[in-house]
Amino acid sequence: MVPTIRVSDCLLVPIQVDLDDATVERLQQQLLREIEAERAQAVILDVSMVDVIDSYISYTISETASMARLMGCRTVLCGIRPHVALTLAQMGVRLRNVAFARDLEHALILARRRGTGGVPGIAPPGPRVRG
């Protein structure tokens, strides 16, 4: 079981273990239960200690984010290391329904944004200025 920390209406999940297929599947089930029990509005997955995110792990994270979104909860992934970002980009991995943050501070800002039109981590457009 991966520890979670409640921060306001968010669940912070500092992943400090190596992720393998079985671990990420257990994490998915755990997060869905906790989103329901805690009525979380956002889940922040801090992967700054994770060295490898393969295609199955990224698929499961994306699937979890889609499930969380259906439950009214946005997902923010923070702390992706440069070599992990490079590998994911080279593999062409696309994580759906996930906002990305540089660090935990940025993740908390994204997690608390409202009125995003269903796109997590994206601020609504401001008023148009006509000149």
pLDDT for res 29:
97
pLDDT for res 99:
95
The boundaries of the domain holding residue 88 are 5-112
- Structural domain includes residue 56: yes
Q: Give the C-alpha distances (Å, rounded to integers) separating 105 from 21, 44, 56, 65, 112.
A: 28, 11, 28, 20, 11
Identify the CATH number of the domain in which residue 35 sits: 3.30.750.24
pLDDT for res 113:
84
Which stretches of the chain drop beneath a pLDDT of 50?
115-131
| Domain count for the chain | 1
pLDDT for res 114:
63
Give this prediction's pTM.
Answer: 0.83
pLDDT for res 92:
92
